[in-house]
Amino acid sequence: MSRRIAALAVLLAATAAPALAQPKAAISKADRDLHENLTVLDTHFDTPALFNVEGWRIIDRHDVAKDGSQVDYPRMVEGGVDGGVFVVFTAQGPRTPEGNAAARDFALVRITEIREMAARYSDKFQVVTTAAEARKLANTPKKFVFISLENSYPLGRDLTLMETFYDLGARMMSPVHTANNDLADSATAPAEHGGLSPLGKQWVAEANRLGVLIDASHASDAATEQMIELSKAPIILSHTGAKAIFDHPRNIGDDLMRKLAAKGGVIQLNALSNYMITVPPNAERDAALRELNRKYGRPKTRAAMEAATAERAAILARYGTPRATFDDFVKHLLHAIEVAGIDHVGISGDFDGGGGLTGFEDILDFPDITAALRAKGYSKADIDKVWGGNALRVFEQAQAQAGR
Amino acid sequence: MSRRIAALAVLLAATAAPALAQPKAAISKADRDLHENLTVLDTHFDTPALFNVEGWRIIDRHDVAKDGSQVDYPRMVEGGVDGGVFVVFTAQGPRTPEGNAAARDFALVRITEIREMAARYSDKFQVVTTAAEARKLANTPKKFVFISLENSYPLGRDLTLMETFYDLGARMMSPVHTANNDLADSATAPAEHGGLSPLGKQWVAEANRLGVLIDASHASDAATEQMIELSKAPIILSHTGAKAIFDHPRNIGDDLMRKLAAKGGVIQLNALSNYMITVPPNAERDAALRELNRKYGRPKTRAAMEAATAERAAILARYGTPRATFDDFVKHLLHAIEVAGIDHVGISGDFDGGGGLTGFEDILDFPDITAALRAKGYSKADIDKVWGGNALRVFEQAQAQAGR
């Protein structure tokens, strides 16, 4: 998939079409109570991309149908969410010294914005660097903020910058995004390195030395397999689907899922519609979405976010664009539990980064997953693993072998 | 001066000996009123070094005699201080790839700590990047925070990092500290480059391109002269004394001061005792101070700061260590005004970085400078220039020619 098309995929999937959403049955009090007592986290919040939007504040309650945003403090409280991994996402750009320097600077500013957010609202958020710190905050009013680097393009060819980002609080890193870079092949680009490059293999060793949890989401199957094999600690797929349910390069097959689990790793099931259903091509619609993207880019104000959200919803509705649903998500989740085992599965909505399905619009819908798992007979202990226990375990395992 | 001795000089000068301080006459109401109406800033606060000290918070009022600290929010209010340049100081270390990377990481963490401080106490502090923003905050409850890089060692040989620090808010940078580095010769080390290295000259050009104010404090005379000549914008000496008043390598001579002024630059007079008087050597005292330094290093808790402060004061008192006074400072200041002109002089206590004199213990003593200048017949307009107008002008001039 070209970068342009990958960007379009995000565009297509980025927004709820509120008119199409079906009201869901409220979950039972027992399910709700159970949900409230779990440690609930999402391993891929793209919300930091909104931190510099004028008029958008994480402490205000927003409406996904109105501004497209999917994570904020009030909704974390309402959705029973204890924290998450907030990502420093850097879009892949030119693999040149200038491009690398620009990406480095972008990512350093973004990680600083995450830290500033937590400092500004220190009664509501706290940057954490260990599973123990996160567990301590679970079920308190303060939400924990793990920091992750999505795409290691900001490192350029200088792996010493991994320690820089580590020093600034990053405890999870992924090598690559939707296009290949100097470290690894992307799941959505033609193979270039055959997986990891030699530098990418050093990247794995350095992540292990630092105790950084390796995230293979967006990496090619070959790169993912190599990370599983080379890493001294279990790895994570922070937001990835099951290929057996829908065949898309961003989803992984059962064999690889089993390999991941055999080494102790975790797959966090993703909720990005275009990786979950077939969207028939429509040249007119795609042109309209491209024009929308050209018009707004990354909106810089809340008003622009709201205008873009409304226009996007109108375009998607006009062309009757199909959208995956909560039930599709549950299928991926149950399949992964069956294949990888209950100790190796978790959840990510890919919110504020393209995620969101009909009936799974934002973090307010998280309790429905608890209800769905309970309906399938899973125990509290099982559901707790899926909601956070497994992810916290791999953070812990990555750190336990640091420096060895 | 060797690095060890330079560190010792800081040790010697770092602390008030409260028992020796003479109570000063209170300043008049007219002087106080005048002071309150000026834009008062200091161009070199080393206070960020305290931001990660456990139990020390900039919003609490501290006593210099008790913990040695010299700048905090309540004292800014009491001392009529509107803001200042908060520095990212990095001690010079090995000029190796490893040393450079460690310095880079240290400085990136420190600049983040400054931004986190301002975010945490956003009702009391604001990071500013222009003189206009600073002027807008003057005489409001919110204090402005310029960020500066003291020592460009964190750049190593990679000048693209200047833009990184610029993106994170730094608007002033100095090339070198008490030892030579790859950019420039230090005032307190034997000449190595004969001023600026070729890379140091590129550093000047890049500072100009970005609109970063060049700070020549700590640079050798040759390096300072080259910066004055090469820079397209006026430069600053953020904390430096007058050699005609006391002959020390950290002070500059009248000719250089005139050259600085002729190009529009500013010298901010410094208040570090060992650069202002002769301290007779005393092997026993110096051994005691070294032992103190070995024992505490950079204190990590407020309790350790207090213990170190008491022990240091006891050592200095035991050996009757002489200490420069407020009157010495005024001599430097008046001399610089005479030589450079009223448009080219400003003030820095070098507080929390070794500054502090008898009768000029911390920022609470700033109004005394206003009174002293008024007693000498300077007008409100003159005194306003010295307290902030001149420094803000050179920030503005540096930015005005950015990119040209």
Q: Do B163 and A101 touch (CB under 8 A)?
A: yes
Which residues in chain A touch residue B117, judged by CB atoms under 8 angstroms apart? 119
CA distances from B295 to A197, A268, B309 (A): 47, 49, 12
Q: What integer is the mean pLDDT of A35-44? A: 97
Give me the half-sphere count of Cα atoms (radius 13 Å) on the Cβ side of residue B353: 27
Q: What integer is the mean pLDDT of A114-118? A: 98
Domain B3-401 in CATH: superfamily? Metal-dependent hydrolases (3.20.20.140)
Q: What is the mean pLDDT of chain A?
A: 94
Q: Which residues of B touch A (CB under 8 A)?
A: 97, 101, 104-105, 108-109, 111-112, 115-117, 119-120, 122, 160, 163-164, 167-168
- Residue B65: phi and psi, rounded to 5, are -70, -25
Selected for mutation to probe chain B from A90, A120, A166 (highest B CB count within 10 Å) is A120
Q: Spell out the SS3 assignment of chain A.
A: CCHHHHHHHHHHHCCCCHHHCCCCCCCCHHHHHHHHCCCCEEEEECHHHHCCCECCCCCCCCCHHHHCCCCCHHHHHHCCCCEEEEEEECCCCCCCHHHHHHHHHHHHHHHHHHHHHHHHCCCCEEECCCHHHHHHHCCCCCEEEEEEEECCHHHCCCCCHHHHHHHCCEEEECCCCCCCCCCECECCCCCCCCCECHHHHHHHHHHHHHCCEEECCCECHHHHHHHHHHCCCCCEEEEEEECCCCCCCCEECHHHHHHHHHCCCEEEECCEHHHCCCCCCCHHHHHHHHHHHHHHCCCCEHHHHHHHHHHHHHHHHHCCCCCCEHHHHHHHHHHHHHHHCHHHEEECCCCCCCCEEECECCHHHHHHHHHHHHHCCCCHHHHHHHHHHHHHHHHHHHHHCCCC
Q: Is the pLDDT of residue A9 over 80?
A: no
Which residues in chain B touch residue A97, judged by CB atoms under 8 angstroms apart? 160
Q: Do B104 and A168 touch (CB under 8 A)?
A: no
Note the pLDDT tens digit of each residue in B276-316: 999 999 999 999 999 999 999 889 999 999 999 999 999 99
Q: Is the pLDDT of residue B195 over 80?
A: yes
Q: Is the pLDDT of residue B18 over 50?
A: no
Q: Is the pLDDT of residue B5 over 70?
A: no
Note the pLDDT tens digit of each residue in B363-376: 999 999 999 999 99
Q: How many residues does chain B have?
A: 404
Q: Do A109 and B167 touch (CB under 8 A)?
A: yes
Q: Is the pLDDT of residue B25 over 70?
A: no
> CA A128 to CA A143: how far, in whole Å?
10
Give the per-residue pLDDT at A223: 98
Which residues in chain B touch residue A116, judged by CB atoms under 8 angstroms apart? 115-116, 119
Which residues in chain A touch residue B105, judged by CB atoms under 8 angstroms apart? 163-164, 167
Give the per-residue pLDDT at B333: 98
Q: What integer is the mean pLDDT of B268-273? A: 97
Percent of chain A with pLDDT over 90: 92
- The pLDDT-based confidence of A24 (bands split at 50, 70, 90) is low
Q: Is the pLDDT of residue B59 over 60?
A: yes
Give the per-residue pLDDT at A404: 67
Q: What integer is the mean pLDDT of B162-185? A: 98
Q: Is the pLDDT of residue A1 over 60?
A: no
Q: What integer is the mean pLDDT of A269-298? A: 95
Q: Is the pLDDT of residue A179 over 80?
A: yes
Note the pLDDT tens digit of each residue in A218-240: 999 999 999 999 999 999 999 99
Q: Do B167 and A101 touch (CB under 8 A)?
A: no
Of A101, A112, A119, the CB nearest to B160: A101
Note the pLDDT tens digit of each residue in B74-101: 999 999 999 999 999 999 999 999 999 9
- The pLDDT-based confidence of B24 (bands split at 50, 70, 90) is low
Q: Is the pLDDT of residue B20 over 50?
A: no
Q: What integer is the mean pLDDT of B369-391? A: 98
Q: What integer is the mean pLDDT of A310-327? A: 95
Give the per-residue pLDDT at B48: 98
Q: Which tokens in the block code for residue A363?
A: 């973090």
Q: What integer is the mean pLDDT of A330-354? A: 98
- The pLDDT-based confidence of B26 (bands split at 50, 70, 90) is confident
Residue B388 DSSP one-character state: I
Note the pLDDT tens digit of each residue in A356-375: 999 999 999 999 999 999 99
Note the pLDDT tens digit of each residue in B197-213: 999 999 999 999 999 99
Give the per-residue pLDDT at B13: 44
